[in-house]
Chain A
Amino acid sequence: MFMAIDYASPSALQSSRDRNELDLRSAGDRPLRLVADVAPASVLPFRMALSALGELIHSDDRWLDAASYSQVLDPVVTVHDDRVFFEAFSRDQSAYGVVIVDRTVLETRGEVRPGTTNIDFTAWLWGALGEMRSSRRTCLRLDPGGLELQTEKRGGRFEPKADLPEAWVRGFLQMQAAAVMPGTRLTLAPVDLLSAIRFLRYTKAKISPRALRYELPPGEDARLIIEPFEHEVPLRGARHGRTELRVIRTWGRRRLRLLEPLLPYASAARVYLKGRALPSFYVVDLPGVSFVLGLTGWTTQSFTRSAGQELSAGLGEADPILSEQALAALSARQVIRSSELAAQLGAPVAAVELALSRLCRRGRATYDIEARAFRHRELFATPIDASLEAELFPPDERSAAAARLLAGGLVRVDGCSVEETTSLRSFKTPEGKIHREVVHRDYRVRGSMPGAQRTEIVVSEAGRVIFGTCSCAFFAENLLNRGPCAHMVALLDASAPERPDAPSSRAASVPEGGGPSQWHRSTEEDEE
């Protein structure tokens, strides 16, 4: 257990013919307060976005196991001068959602105390949200409640005294590392994204490859390819400015269904792609409200486990004085860009970004992917110290050693050969059955570097090391039981340019005399 939260009374939605009162109970030890009327035009978008967040909180794409019976982790809410935002993780911790409510649609009453806290968000409340109507005066109330309110309103809670596991905390902090990474931003017509989601809804690919392939051809709008059908969704108006073809593949596309209820009402949608098999972020704009969905590279990868380790490995040592100054500036302004802060503090941008990233890792700041700015957000009532930070982010010696090898230019890629396995498959699509030759590619990469005269890895299309050998002592002792050695990690990174994303299937015709039995039916369940 990392920390525990307790609510004096449960959250509730009280609705009558004239009023909706959404009382969200925050943790008892956080001094946050906001009471506001929601503008009528934004009531429905607010309800839909919160319902989508509820769907995300309860969603779980794993097979049912003991962990599936665990408790749902409540969202975190932050009140700032310009926005109120609710953040949460899915139960399998592979999806992250944020509901951002613009403060211009909230008419506040009484004192507003900015801050961050967990809120009680039960399944019952999630269901009750459907009773909110824009024709009624809608009041949002965020405060800890307390004993007085407990007896005034309703009985207290026992189960929500939630123990927040370390994994959850680590996930929240890793999320920042993913958001800060440079990437590609595409502005989409909501209906194009909806079209891709609908295609997936009606067309199930039960075998690999099951990636979404974003293609960014120079001088043209981006397009989205759904594998293995090679179904193309043109992304009209998705400008990107690339001068050469760029292809980015992401997996775990079924999780995009979380956006489906919002897209028919959306005015705009954007996607932030960080790279192959890396996290991606989708933003859907509704009147006065935005919904951000962050997805890990693939479904079984969670923000709270391995996903983040690699992402945060590059962090160097931040200047503690600069960190303090950055925190003070953030506390005063709530939101600030790293370049502005660098100018204000007279420090190099890189050093300031390092200090801000370190604050993110300590739960004291968050990165706003839309504004490309850092925001002040105290995730914990008592900020974590350096020792706890070290416990949450244990140093990964292998990643660090790999980074040193790469930085020193010591990694030599001796060869990268592609091994293709093809199979003929038939798929059902809305247009009828199609036949395609599916290509599974593995890349066999050989290389050498100091400490390992011969390293060889086999990399899947998703960029994962699926097999490898190395002449180093670590491999001799552990084989792959503790994951790849530092040399394999370095070779993986060094060979990335030699492993291009190619189409995963080709058109195929039915062989003469070949009936259905000549085709592999798409019934095998593969790993993504």
Chain B
Amino acid sequence: MRDPYIERAKALHRELDRLLAAGLGDRELRDAIEGLEDRSLLPFVVHRVARGLLERDPILFGPVVRPRLLLWGYDGRGKWHRPWRTAVGKVDLEWLLRFAEERDDAPLFKAAMQLHFDSVAWRKRDALFRKELRSRFHRGLRSAERASLLERFAGLGHLDDASAIELYEAEPNLCKRFILDHVPPVEWDAHDRDRLPKLLDRTRSRDPLFHFALYRTTVGSATWRRDVQSLIEQASDAELDSELERRHPAAPPSKIGDVFALLLEKRGDAATPYVHRHLADTVRGIFGSGGYETLIDLARRRGDERLWAGLLRYVATPKEYNAAVRELVRDLTDGGSSRDRLLLLAGLGRELNFGRFSVARVQPLHDDVACALFDRAPELLDGVFKQHLFAGWHETYPHLLDRVLAAEHEDLLDFLASRFVTRGGFWVNKKLTVAAEKLSRYYEGLRRDPVVFAERSSNVLAQVPPFAIGSYDALLEGNRLARLLYEHAPVDYLASSRAIRDLLESPEIHAQRLAFRALALGLPSARRLAAENIDLLAATLLRPLHRRTRLVAFAALLNAADDEVTAAKVLSVAREAMHLPDLRYPKEELVGLIGRIVHRHAALRNERERNVVYRSA
């Protein structure tokens, strides 16, 4: 099939040729190029004109050319090729490199050098990077010139021992950061091997601070293990911790747990702070436990409960974690140590923060373990272990639910309901919807007493985390409990002012919408409660809400504006909301709300809202 872009590329080549031949001034030419109809293909054709444009005016055309230098492009006949590998391209590239160096234009130099590296095979690029760097980094350069050179080469490749030593020997202070940033990567089959071993040797006594910074970045696991072994044998208790710390690898090696175990076995308390500090580095591999088994055996033997609990929460698989909890629950007796040890196993595990996202790992309890814990110590399951109940695809807690329902443990029931009420849709384990159905029958039974139902249901919905519901419509279709709590009974929530307040304060928008719907009903109790909660309702005028939700909130606000004082509060915020520049804000409906309120309370009309009656003169 013919590439649909070929004709466009050919047309763009023709258009560029026409512009260059038109005798335009530099500025007009720049504007004309930037204003081209089909600019999106410009990066694939700019190689033909890059040199010419930069020769005309590097300042004006630099921003046009620099970000658009690519390895591949279309030639004038629409052929897809590597333009910088052609004879003309090579000459142009050489000129570009020289030009960028003369002008000390680091971004242009980097872009051109990337094109230059493309001339060799992938594995040989680092060698070419080093050759180009060393050929320029001769001893005749001044310090400032060397700094510029390193800036130009930053991020383009990796150093080897010889080149790193050459840089370090020439100007250590200037090059240390560059060396640390350009150490060779770990090869997949050589994790044990040190990188830059000669430079490490050379800096050991001359520059200990840099040596250990380099050590932490480049040390292979074999050397590190050997060094730890020698520290175990030679370092005093006072210096052990700091010596271990300054050798701790930046990227923890595999099976680090074995090394920790060795340390604890041989040096005991002196090594404990270091091991505790780096416990989170113990990670299970795909083919092994990362030394977990050795370490947890040792923790048990030494009676180091903090380490034992940390390993179970951070490193153990859910199966191992549940086995440990099961064993402790079995041994639970009044006043025994099992309870204390059990408590140590509750809580968060590993926490990861990257960018604006944060994830915390919590070990999930299995159904049988949760049942056992509920039987022996329900206050623990309802307390610190509540966060370990994670209803999802793998675990649906059918037996626990039966037991909790039978025992009518209200707090746990509400918590479990808050987890099951959000599970629905095609991809959900059908056992979850069965559990939701069981719970819906229980909550339906509570409707006999509207106050109890309102407070219990709002307690369920209050525990639903924000954004836990993906598709609300799919949820309603597949989850009977959700239908009951969210859709069937808004009027029931009016029985309890506390329930309404809880729903309004919920960070979950569907719970809030439920409260708006209840407060929008044409009942005296709805009007009274709406007025009581005017502080939260008025804020909805200024919050970003979906149109559907906002219209329900408007209706609730109209209910709230029954008396003149509350109406004045609503009006003042509503008039301010008119000035918000929000897209899709239903301003017509907002005007309607204001109109209805001022119709109801004529005294609140401002000058422009008063009726004007025109009579013939």
A58 contacts B353, C-beta separation under 8 Å? yes
B37 at the interface (CB under 8 A from A): yes
Q: Which residues of A, 201-248, contact B by the 8 Å Cβ criterion?
A: 201-203, 231
Q: Which residues of B, 310-352, contact A by the 8 Å Cβ criterion?
A: 310, 313-314, 340, 343-348, 350-351
- B144: contacting residue among A64, A156, A265, A478, CB under 8 A: A478
B279 at the interface (CB under 8 A from A): yes
A133 contacts B148, C-beta separation under 8 Å? no
B617 at the interface (CB under 8 A from A): no
Closest chain B residue, CB of each to CB of A287:
B535
B583 contacts A202, C-beta separation under 8 Å? yes
A154 at the interface (CB under 8 A from B): yes
Q: Residues of B contacting A265 with CB < 8 Å?
A: 535, 539
Closest chain B residue, CB of each to CB of A16:
B411
B542 contacts A202, C-beta separation under 8 Å? no
Q: Residues of B contacting A64 with CB < 8 Å?
A: 354-355
Q: Which residues of B, 138-188, contact A by the 8 Å Cβ criterion?
A: 142-144, 147-148, 151
- CA of A59 to CA of B360, assembled, Å: 17
Q: Which residues of A, 61-89, contact B by the 8 Å Cβ criterion?
A: 64, 68-72
B576 at the interface (CB under 8 A from A): yes
- A122: contacting residue among B37, B276, B309, B360, CB under 8 A: B360
A151 contacts B463, C-beta separation under 8 Å? no
Closest chain A residue, CB of each to CB of B313:
A155
CB distance from B441 to the nearest CB of A (A): 21
CB distance from B587 to the nearest CB of A (A): 11
Q: Which residues of A, 427-450, contact B by the 8 Å Cβ criterion?
A: 430
A127 at the interface (CB under 8 A from B): yes
Closest chain A residue, CB of each to CB of B583:
A202
B581 contacts A430, C-beta separation under 8 Å? yes
- B582: contacting residue among A59, A202, A479, A519, CB under 8 A: A202
CB distance from B363 to the nearest CB of A (A): 11
**Listed stretches B366-374, B501-509, B589-597; interface member:** B501-509
B344 contacts A151, C-beta separation under 8 Å? yes
Closest chain B residue, CB of each to CB of A478:
B144
A471 at the interface (CB under 8 A from B): no
A156 contacts B344, C-beta separation under 8 Å? yes
Closest chain B residue, CB of each to CB of A61:
B356
Q: Given A69-B354, A155-B309, A264-B539, verify A124-B581 contact (CB < 8 Å).
A: no
- CA of A263 to CA of B543, assembled, Å: 9
- CA of A203 to CA of B343, assembled, Å: 51
A104 at the interface (CB under 8 A from B): no
CB distance from B322 to the nearest CB of A (A): 16
B580 contacts A130, C-beta separation under 8 Å? no
B455 at the interface (CB under 8 A from A): yes
A191 contacts B310, C-beta separation under 8 Å? no
Q: Which residues of B, 213-233, contact A by the 8 Å Cβ criterion?
A: none
A154 contacts B142, C-beta separation under 8 Å? no
A158 contacts B314, C-beta separation under 8 Å? yes
**Listed stretches A192-200, A361-369, A372-380; interface member:** A192-200
A430 contacts B462, C-beta separation under 8 Å? no
Q: Given A430-B581, A518-B35, verify A130-B353 contact (CB < 8 Å).
A: no
A331 at the interface (CB under 8 A from B): no
A194 contacts B580, C-beta separation under 8 Å? yes
B542 contacts A135, C-beta separation under 8 Å? no
Q: Given A123-B358, A155-B343, verify A189-B351 contact (CB < 8 Å).
A: no
The number of A-B residue pairs with CB atoms under 8 Å apart is 154
- CA of A17 to CA of B462, assembled, Å: 10
Contact with A along B550-589 (1 / 0, CB 8 A): 0000000000000000000000010011011111000000
- CA of A479 to CA of B577, assembled, Å: 54
A158 contacts B505, C-beta separation under 8 Å? no
Closest chain B residue, CB of each to CB of A71:
B353
Q: Residues of B contacting A152 with CB < 8 Å?
A: 343
CB distance from A372 to the nearest CB of B (A): 30
- A127: contacting residue among B314, B353, B465, B579, CB under 8 A: B465
B383 at the interface (CB under 8 A from A): yes
Q: Residues of A contacting B358 with CB < 8 Å?
A: 58, 72, 122-123, 126
B353 contacts A70, C-beta separation under 8 Å? yes
Q: Residues of B contacting A199 with CB < 8 Å?
A: 581
A133 contacts B462, C-beta separation under 8 Å? yes
A131 at the interface (CB under 8 A from B): yes
A198 contacts B277, C-beta separation under 8 Å? no
B356 contacts A154, C-beta separation under 8 Å? no
Q: Residues of B contacting A202 with CB < 8 Å?
A: 581-583
B343 contacts A195, C-beta separation under 8 Å? no
- B384: contacting residue among A69, A154, A203, CB under 8 A: A154
Q: Given A189-B576, A194-B542, verify A155-B35 contact (CB < 8 Å).
A: no
B280 at the interface (CB under 8 A from A): yes
A153 at the interface (CB under 8 A from B): yes
Q: Given A124-B360, A265-B539, verify A156-B354 contact (CB < 8 Å).
A: no
CB distance from A94 to the nearest CB of B (A): 14
B542 contacts A191, C-beta separation under 8 Å? yes
- A135: contacting residue among B151, B344, B357, B501, CB under 8 A: B501
- CA of A11 to CA of B583, assembled, Å: 40
Most buried by B among A15, A126, A159: A159
A60 at the interface (CB under 8 A from B): yes
Cβ contacts A to B, 30 pairs, < 8 Å: A10-B347, A10-B348, A44-B505, A58-B356, A58-B358, A60-B356, A68-B355, A72-B353, A91-B353, A123-B353, A123-B359, A130-B466, A130-B506, A130-B508, A131-B463, A150-B344, A151-B344, A153-B343, A154-B347, A155-B313, A155-B346, A155-B347, A158-B276, A191-B580, A195-B581, A264-B539, A265-B539, A430-B583, A481-B151, A520-B35
Known: A155-B347, A159-B351. 17 other contacts (CB 8 A): A17-B455, A91-B353, A130-B466, A130-B507, A133-B462, A151-B344, A153-B343, A154-B347, A156-B347, A158-B280, A201-B544, A263-B542, A265-B535, A478-B144, A481-B148, A481-B151, A519-B35
Please name the 10 residue pairs, one residue from A and one from B, whose CB atoms are nearest each other, closest first. Answer: A123-B358, A264-B542, A130-B507, A264-B539, A155-B347, A191-B576, A517-B37, A154-B347, A481-B147, A124-B360
